[in-house]
Amino acid sequence: MNLKRVLTVTKKEFIHIRRDKASMILALVAPVMMLLLFGFAVSTDVNDIRLAVCDQSNTMESRELIRSYENSAYFKVYTMTDNPQNAEKMIAAGNVKAALLIPTDFAKGLRRGEKEEVQILVDGSDPSIARTAANYAVMISNGYSLKVSSVKLMNTAAALNKSPGVDARAMIMYNPTLESSKFNVPGVVGLILQNITVILTAFAMVREREKGTIEQLIMTPVSSLELIVGKLIPYVFIGIYDYAIVLLLSYILFGVAIKGSILLLTLLGIIFLIGALAMGMLISTFAKTQLQAMQASLLVLLPSVLLSGFMFPREAMPKVVYAISTILPVTHFLIILRGIILKGVGISYLYKTATVLLALIIAIIAITVKKFTKKLD
Amino acid sequence: MEFAIEINNLSKKFGSFTAVNNISFSIPKGKIFGFLGPNGSGKSTTIRMLCGVITPTSGEGRVLGFDLYKNTEQIKQNIGYMSQRFGLYEDLTVNENIDFYGSIYLLAKEEMNERKKQLIEIAGLVGKEKSLAGTLSGGMKQKLALCCALIHQPQLLVLDEPTAGVDPVSRREFWKVITQLTATGITVLVTTHYMDEASICDIIGFIYNGDLITMNTPEELFEKHHTDNLEDIFIEYVSKLSSKDAVLSFKEIRQQGKEV
């Protein structure tokens, strides 16, 4: 391998990237856009659910219950109505996502020391909002009833803390406020590192074939190894730039700081990047044109977004889908990213995942090398 | 006599398919060798073997004194190749294209710049150095491709249908440059489907279905076939070998068309 030839190819590749607007945007701007998109817009946090309230009791007790909904930040009282049917209509029209129906004799029962029922209607057409809304509503109502009963018990002079029962206190670790950006943003690092590298590499390789320049190159003394290494170098730089800029912006915009070792993260990131380069090259062995390369890239990228655990928990997936998600390197890299960035864990916790990632990447490289040598013959 | 190309019983098989079957010829240095044959006859495979890109199945050969099996790197270093697809990077300028190929051949900077200046002058690309290759006309692209193929001063220039899709004026200009080059001692191997171009060659080889059918000077071919039209000779060979007797002359085709 001659270094001058390698660098000649690298220089040429940089000129290609510099003069191709689409490549430049993909390499430099797309990572920032993806980060902003997934950080801000894609949020599974459910706040300010619009609530219709039908208070038929209209007592101090009912108003107190309503206030505890309002104070929760999960709900926002959108409208008050006297008619339960109106509340249903508003859900149907999409004006509100939930409705709280308080019956007429709500306060009377409570005053007698009986358990009273309130009804919560939730719009189930969006399951993730519905599930959260229902859970929060139950939680708030339980909290309220606990308060009422403790007042009652105090009045009867019985000490609350002596009453038997199980008090489960959940402590949410690593992301105590349960912000979805904290969960999404580390994942974006992995997706950007993979997707942009795969597309750009596949394109760069296929372009030589599509334009016929490869025919010329094989007649020159440049070896295929020199050509491949020379062509890949710019994408290593772009990958590292994307990685750095996304981590930096995650910190500035979303307050996502790396709790663990940056060195370990970068090391594993580079291994992952090498895997992505190999994947791009593998695609280029199948694709004859840039269009085909784009389609083939989507075939890799879509599962990476949907199945990797980036958006949806893998635990809930059917077995076959789960198995597919296991062979995606990005799945394992996401575990590493979240482990190091959010939990601050080190290699002693991650060595299993890192080993699987390494094995997958070695497999991809092996397949790519085999495909390539076959092609050149 | 010194030979630029010497091959003996050269064959190339792809599985059970014989692309090139036992061909032998020798081309003296400084000559233009026209390699003719219909599409798929084995021209490109022969060229690829001569350029050291694919290994022959059997037979032996030397290009510029280098062995086709053992010295492929030296062969590549000493030949220039240009094909109908030109192999240019359209988003690189004229200068950048030439520099790229020059660096691939590991030329020293001063040597390369001097050579580049000469070539750009010969090719008539002066003033276009900073233009993107993609913005050049077909004829200019062809000349730029020739510059790229010649930057490392090869002793053998291989031209694979270099003038396909180029206008007649550019074609003649191109051939003028080529004949000038041979005066400096460079050997040229060219494939073409234009018979007027073939008649410029010093030696003509005709290949069909992997077999070398004939190898002669144009003058001897004219004498043997009692015509000075190479195209007719070409078609005569094809119809004789493929029993495709339906290949008419253009005149006859036009006549028939009018009758219908």
Chain centroid to CA A143: how far?
A: 31
The predicted pLDDT at position A45 comes to: 67
Say yes or no to pLDDT of A162 above 70. no
Is A262 a member of any domain? yes
> Which of A4, A19, A219 lies nearest to residue B81, judging by beta carbons?
A219
Q: How far apart are CA A286 and CA A176, in angstroms?
A: 46
Selected residues 89-148 of chain B with any CB under 8 Å from a CB in chain A: 89-92, 96, 100-101, 103-106, 148
Q: Does B90 sit within 8 Å of A211, measured CB to CB? A: yes
Question: Can you give the pLDDT at residue A241?
Answer: 93
Q: How far is CA A20 from CA A204, A337, B176, in A?
A: 11, 31, 37
Q: Could you give the C-alpha distances from A358 to A161, A272, A353, A372, B37, in angstroms and in order?
A: 54, 8, 9, 21, 52
In-domain check, residue A336: yes
- Window 39-68 of B, Cβ < 8 Å to A: 51, 53
Residue A251 binned pLDDT confidence (cut-offs 50, 70, 90): very high
- Residue A171 belongs to a domain: no
Chain B nearest C-alpha distance from A225 (Å): 13
**Hey, of A18, A215, A290, which one would you mutate to test binding to chain B, going by the most B CBs within 10 A of its CB?**
A215
DSSP label at residue A376: H
What is the pLDDT, as a whole number, of residue B9?
Answer: 94
Whether A172 is covered by a domain: the verdict is no
d(CA B189, CA B118): 23
- The pLDDT of residue A169 is above 80: no
What is the predicted pLDDT for the residue at B199? 87
Residue A10: its pLDDT value, please?
96
- Under 8 Å CB-to-CB from A54, ≥6 apart: which residues? A80, A81, A82, A83, A84, A86, A87, A99, A100, A101, A102
Residues A35, A57: one domain?
no
Task: Judge if A183 and A58 occupy the same domain.
Answer: no
The verdict on A37 and A58 lying in the same domain is: no
State pLDDT tens for residues B7-66. 999 999 998 999 999 999 999 999 999 999 888 889 999 999 999 989 999 999 999 999
Residue B26's pLDDT is 94
CB distance A20–B88 less than 8 Å? no
Q: Is A200 a member of any domain?
A: yes
Residue of A nearest to B96 (CA): A12
CATH number at residue A130: 3.40.1710.10
* A210 and A145 within one domain: no
Domain ranges of chain B: 3-259
pLDDT band at A374 (very low <50, low <70, confident <90, very high): low
Percentage of chain A beyond pLDDT 90 is 35
Asked if residue A298 and residue A189 are part of one domain, the reply reads: yes
Regarding whether A196 and A314 lie in a shared domain, the answer is yes
- How high is the pLDDT of residue B141? 92
Residue in B with minimal Cα distance to A214: B87
Q: What confidence tier does A223 reach under pLDDT thresholds 50, 70, 90?
A: confident
Residue A326 has pLDDT above 80, yes or no: yes
**Chain-centre distance of CA A79, in angstroms?**
34
Domain end position, chosen among A133, A162, A191: A162
User: A1 near A226, Cβ under 8 Å?
Assistant: yes
Write down the pLDDT at residue A239: 93
Whether A83 and A153 share a structural domain = yes
Task: Give the confidence band of A181 by pLDDT, cuts at 50, 70, 90.
Answer: confident
* CATH 3.30.420.340 is the classification of domain B3-259: no
Q: How confident is the model at residue A272 (pLDDT cuts 50, 70, 90)?
A: very high
Residues in chain B predicted with pLDDT less than 70, given as ranges, are: 243-248, 260
Chain B residues whose beta carbon lies within 8 Å of the beta carbon of residue A5: 103-104, 106
B-chain CB neighbours of A213 within 8 Å are 85, 87-89
Residue A161: which pLDDT band, with cuts at 50, 70 and 90? low
- What pLDDT does B2 receive? 85
Give how far B233 is from chain A: nearest CA, Å: 31
The H or E element spanning position B58 is: strand B58-63
Q: Tell me phi and psi for residue A165, to 5 degrees.
A: 150, 170
- Domain region containing A26: 3-43+179-376
Confidence at A286, pLDDT banded by 50, 70, 90: confident
Residue where a domain stops, chosen among A162, A195, A228? A162
pLDDT higher at A160 or A45: A45
Contacts of B161 in chain A (CB under 8 A): none
pLDDT at A158: 53
Query: CB–CB of B83 and A222 under 8 A?
Result: no
Distance of CA B27 to the CA centre of its chain: 14
* Mean pLDDT within A6-29: 93
Nearest CA in chain A to B154: A220
Q: How many separate domains does chain A show?
A: 2
Residues of A in contact with B165 (CB under 8 A): none
For residue A164, is pLDDT > 70? no
| Residue A167 in domain | no
The pLDDT score that the predictor gives to residue B23 is 94
Contact B96 A12 (CB under 8 A): yes
- The residue among A162 and B129 whose pLDDT is bigger is B129
Residue type, A289: T
Which residues of A sit within 8 Å Cβ distance of B? Answer: 2, 4-5, 8-9, 11-12, 15-16, 19-20, 211-213, 215-222
